[in-house]
């Protein structure tokens, strides 16, 4: 049956989720639960998020962290970062503090102009096109007057329109290359609206407009961030050697594209995290930055380093087309909070903050690479992630971290170490393992003596069968369990504690009951039968609740926990566990 659907966007959110669960998850209830548990409890806030994009069914959370101690142009900042990769925020914070005692970051905006283009095809004489363009350039500006009016009040607008000949690369292909200043707005909608108005005015019978669109390549929307200090103030055991290795690492990234890509990815770890936190377009920033890195025909580093006359200098120049008004920055509460956190920066100031974050991230990576190695910090975070994933206690964390101080961290090695710390003090019996249960019980004879209690071996086996009949529905016991008492008793089933020797349930006879079977072998087979039935009745009805005479109402999971404790108790009674 086809899963192609028409009118999906018109379905309610609940209907979209039901369709998805039915067609791609076999209507698993846990899938629907997972989707819904990420909804915001505030319905108005959730509706706001739903309206950001199309076909919304839930939210996808990303960690939101902050990196304090950034000193930029003499002003202190705390920088918000949204990122899923461990070590990024920690590295930015550590480097920010490091440079705060060495003069901080010095930043400047070099230029802020952005580009948009009208792409068109023209097969006539180039001179005629140039004449047509010159005669109509004033009209092209006038065509956008209603759009640029408010932007011009803020000091922005269209700066220039040029006719560009691209016919050498593509037959009959020309473009109108338009330069914009959009001030504190990223300006995508503004630029595209202007371009469409220009295109409409410019087209004629001989000019075929192909498309009108802004460019995310913004080499003239450029910002620079720098740190510097005397070499001896770099600190460490040998600052001269560190400075030398650091400079060489940057130079390698300048000439080796394979290294440069990873080098720049580290820069973007810091940049993208702040771009996301402020509701800006990280995809546009990414594409523009990487295009800029390849502007001279070969992909190279976005950062540069110079060690000269006893001074260490490290800097970045990067295009960043950002906005602090309009778009998601004006709608997303966390984006607005991020901007407030950074003291409500202008777009120019935000460019400088983000450039500093990228430079800090790159410094952290290169320092790690040229000293302890990049994995040292990553593995610390990786180790903590594994420990958290396996719900390690604070004591376990301390022991495992100390153990791996000088050892290689891997998932399997950490789990193995955790398991060694968690070796159970009790050798719990797996009652569901028929072969194990049968093999152990077959060791018993009529002469087997218990270490406690009055039952003989066969009576013990038949007792396990009888108690298993309760959840199976084969033994109805008319016992009332007070809810308050049951609430106090049930938590015991979730602990690692054993049933105490000498414990006697009130519903049981004081003395062992008469035997039902003629041999231990028959008793064992009946117990195996009851164990199988126990599993079957709950598989048929997973929501089945059966009252335990001592613990009260139990579901399948709690009955299984009881069975483990009960079997272990009686197996230990005869030295089988």
Q: Write down the H helix ranges in 235-346.
A: 239-255, 257-277, 282-293, 328-331, 333-341
Predicted confidence at residue 4, as pLDDT, reads 92
Runs of H (alpha helix) within 63-168: 88-100, 126-142, 145-153
Q: What is the pLDDT of residues 148-177, one digit of tens each?
A: 999 999 999 999 999 999 999 999 999 999
Residues 312, 243 contacting (CB under 8 angstroms): yes
CA-wise closest residue to 349 among 433, 278, 419 = 278
Q: Is residue 363 very low, low, confident or very high in pLDDT (cuts 50, 70, 90)?
A: very high
User: Distance between CA atoms of 178 and 133, rounded to whole angstroms?
Assistant: 13
Q: Mark residue 478 as left, alpha or beta (left: phi above 0; alpha: psi -120 to 50; beta: remaining).
A: beta
Active site residues: 85, 265, 281, 378
Sequence-distant (6+) residues with CB within 8 A of 245 are 370
**What percent of the chain lies above the pLDDT cut of 90?**
78
Pairing, β 157-165 against β 173-181: antiparallel
Tell me what pLDDT residue 566 has: 95
The answer to whether residues 437 and 563 touch, using CB atoms and an 8 Å cutoff, is no
Residue with tokens 């920690």: 90
Whats the size of the chain, residue-wise? Answer: 577
Distance CA 528, CA 510 (A): 26
| β partners of residue 118 | 176, 212
pLDDT of residue 557: 94
557 beta partners: none
- Lowest mean pLDDT: which of 45-59, 76-90, 253-267, 366-380? 366-380
Domain parsing of the chain, residue ranges: 8-51, 64-106+237-371, 114-215, 381-422, 434-574
Q: Would you state the pLDDT for residue 503?
A: 76
DSSP letter string, 537-573:
HHHH-TT--EEETTTEEE-HHHHHHHHHHHHHHHHHH
- What is the per-residue burial (b if ≥16 Cβ within 10 Å, else e) of 27-39? eeeeebeebeeeb
In this structure, what token pair is assigned to residue 247? Answer: 């400079």
Mean pLDDT of 364-370: 94
Question: Looking at the predicted structure, is the pLDDT value of residue 402 above 90?
Answer: no
The arithmetic mean of pLDDT across residues 353-371, rounded, is 96
Number of other CB atoms surrounding residue 248 within 10 Å: 13
Tokens matching residue 329: 């920055």
Q: pLDDT class for 424, splitting at 50, 70, 90?
A: low
Among 3.90.770.10, 3.90.870.10, 3.40.50.300, 3.30.950.10, name the CATH number for the domain at 64-106+237-371.
3.90.770.10
Q: Is 158 strand, coil or helix?
A: strand
For residue 89, what are its two tokens? 């925020």
- Which pLDDT value is given to residue 361? 97
Average pLDDT over residues 309-330: 93
pLDDT for residue 71: 98
Alpha carbon distance 40, 341 (integer Å): 23
Question: Nearest Cα to 275, choosing from 62, 446, 8, 573?
Answer: 62
Contacts with 369 (C-beta within 8 Å, 6 or more apart), sequence order: 249
> For the residues 51-66, what does the mean pLDDT come to?
95
Tokens of 333: 């509460």
Q: Which of 113, 317, 294 is nearest to 215 (CA)?
A: 113
Tens digits of per-residue pLDDT, 428-459? 999 999 999 999 999 999 999 999 988 999 99
Q: Does domain 114-215 have CATH number 3.30.70.420?
A: yes
Average pLDDT over residues 536-556: 92
Relative to beta strand 173-181, strand 114-122 is antiparallel
At a CB cut-off of 8 Å and minimum separation 6, what does 354 contact? 223, 271, 274, 275, 320, 322
How far is CA 321 from each of CA 112, 361, 510, rounded to the nearest angstrom? 8, 20, 83
Give the model's pLDDT for residue 38.
94
**pLDDT digit string, tens, across residues 222-250:** 999 999 999 999 998 899 999 999 999 99
Please tell me the distance from the alpha carbon of residue 95 to that of residue 104, in angstroms, as a whole number. 10
Give how far Cα 478 sits from Cα of 91, 151, 381, 481, 550, Å: 65, 82, 55, 10, 12
Asked whether the predicted pLDDT for residue 138 surpasses 90, the reply is: yes
Tell me how far apart the alpha carbons of residues 144 and 139 are, in angstroms, rounded to a whole number.
Answer: 9
**From CA 221, how far away is CA 348, in angstroms rounded?**
10
Confidence of residue 73 (pLDDT cuts 50, 70, 90): very high
Cα–Cα distance for residue pair 288/216, rounded to 1 Å: 5
Q: What's the number of CA atoms in the CB half-sphere (13 Å) around residue 56?
A: 15
Q: Is a pLDDT exceeding 60 seen at residue 306?
A: yes
Please tell me the number of Cα atoms within 13 Å of 549 on its side-chain side. 15
| Residues above pLDDT 70, as percent of the chain | 97
In terms of Cβ atoms closer than 10 Å to its own Cβ (0-12, 13-18, 19+), residue 168 is: exposed
pTM: 0.68
Q: How confident is the model at residue 339 (pLDDT cuts 50, 70, 90)?
A: very high
Give pLDDT, residue 509.
67
Q: Within a 13 Å sphere around the CA of 551, how many CA atoms are in the beta-carbon half?
A: 23
In contact, 317 and 222? CB cutoff 8 Å: yes
> Which of 107-111, 196-200, 390-394 shows the lowest per-residue confidence on average (mean pLDDT)?
390-394
Enter the DSSP assignment of 317: E
Which pairing describes strands 114-122 and 207-214: parallel, antiparallel, or unpaired? antiparallel
Query: Which tokens in the block code for residue 94?
Result: 């550590």
- Band of residue 330 on the pLDDT scale cut at 50, 70, 90: confident
Q: 342: pLDDT confidence band, cut at 50, 70 and 90?
A: very high
pLDDT in the model for residue 556 = 95
The answer, yes or no, to whether residue 17 has pLDDT greater than 70, is: yes
What fold does the segment set 434-574 form as a domain? 1.20.120
Lowest mean pLDDT among 5-14, 194-203, 397-406: 397-406
């Amino acid at each position: 049956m086809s899963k192609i659907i028409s009118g999906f966007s018109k379905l309610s959110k609940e209907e979209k989720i039901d369709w998805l669960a039915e067609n791609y998850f076999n209507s698993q209830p846990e899938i629907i639960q997972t989707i819904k548990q990420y909804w915001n409890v505030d319905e108005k806030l959730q509706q706001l998020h739903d309206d950001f994009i199309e076909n919304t069914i839930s939210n996808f959370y990303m960690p939101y962290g902050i990196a304090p101690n950034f000193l930029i142009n003499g002003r202190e900042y705390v920088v918000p970062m949204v990122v899923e990769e461990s070590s990024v925020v920690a590295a930015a914070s550590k480097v920010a503090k490091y440079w705060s005692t060495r003069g901080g970051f010095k930043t400047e905006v070099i230029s802020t102009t952005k580009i948009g283009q009208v792409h068109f095809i023209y097969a006539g004489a180039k001179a005629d096109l140039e004449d047509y363009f010159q005669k109509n350039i004033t009209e092209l500006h006038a065509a956008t007057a209603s759009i640029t009016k408010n932007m011009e009040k803020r000091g922005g607008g269209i700066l220039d329109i040029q006719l560009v000949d691209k016919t050498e690369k593509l037959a009959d292909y020309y473009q109108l290359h338009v330069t914009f200043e959009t001030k504190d707005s990223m300006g995508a909608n503004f630029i595209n609206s202007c371009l469409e108005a220009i295109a409409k005015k410019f087209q004629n019978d001989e000019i075929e407009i192909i498309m009108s669109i802004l460019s995310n390549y913004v080499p003239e929307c450029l910002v620079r961030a720098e740190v510097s200090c005397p070499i001896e103030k770099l600190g460490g055991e040998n600052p001269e050697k560190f400075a030398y290795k650091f400079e060489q690492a940057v130079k390698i990234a300048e000439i080796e594209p394979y290294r440069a890509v990873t080098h720049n990815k580290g820069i973007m770890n810091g940049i993208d995290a702040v771009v996301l936190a402020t509701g800006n377009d990280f995809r546009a920033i990414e594409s523009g930055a990487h295009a800029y890195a390849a502007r001279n025909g070969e992909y190279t580093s976005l950062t540069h380093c110079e060690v000269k006359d006893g001074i260490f200098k490290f800097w970045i120049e990067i295009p960043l087309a950002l906005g602090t008004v309009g778009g998601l920055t004006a709608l997303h509460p966390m984006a607005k909070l991020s901007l407030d956190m950074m003291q409500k920066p202008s777009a120019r100031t935000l460019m400088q903050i983000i450039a500093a974050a990228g430079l800090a991230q790159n410094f952290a990576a290169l320092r790690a690479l040229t000293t302890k190695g990049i994995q040292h910090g990553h593995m610390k975070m990786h180790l903590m992630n594994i420990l958290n994933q396996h719900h390690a206690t604070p004591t376990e964390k301390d022991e495992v971290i100390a153990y791996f101080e000088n050892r290689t961290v891997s998932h399997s090695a950490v789990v193995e170490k955790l398991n060694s710390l968690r070796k159970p003090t009790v050798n719990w019996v797996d009652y569901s393992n028929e072969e194990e249960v049968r093999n152990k019980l077959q060791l018993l004879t009529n002469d087997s003596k218990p270490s406690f209690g009055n039952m003989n071996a066969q009576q013990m086996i038949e007792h396990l069968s009888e108690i298993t009949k309760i959840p199976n529905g084969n033994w109805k016991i008319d016992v009332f369990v007070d809810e308050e008492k049951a609430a106090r008793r049930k938590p015991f089933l979730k602990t690692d504690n054993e049933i105490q020797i000498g414990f006697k349930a009130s519903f049981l006879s004081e003395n062992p009951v008469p035997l039902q079977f003629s041999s231990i072998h028959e008793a064992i087979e009946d117990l195996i039968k009851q164990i199988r039935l126990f599993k079957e009745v709950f598989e048929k009805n997973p929501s089945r609740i059966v009252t335990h005479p001592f613990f009260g109402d139990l579901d399948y999971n709690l009955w299984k926990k009881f069975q483990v404790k009960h079997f272990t108790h009686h197996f230990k009674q005869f030295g089988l566990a």
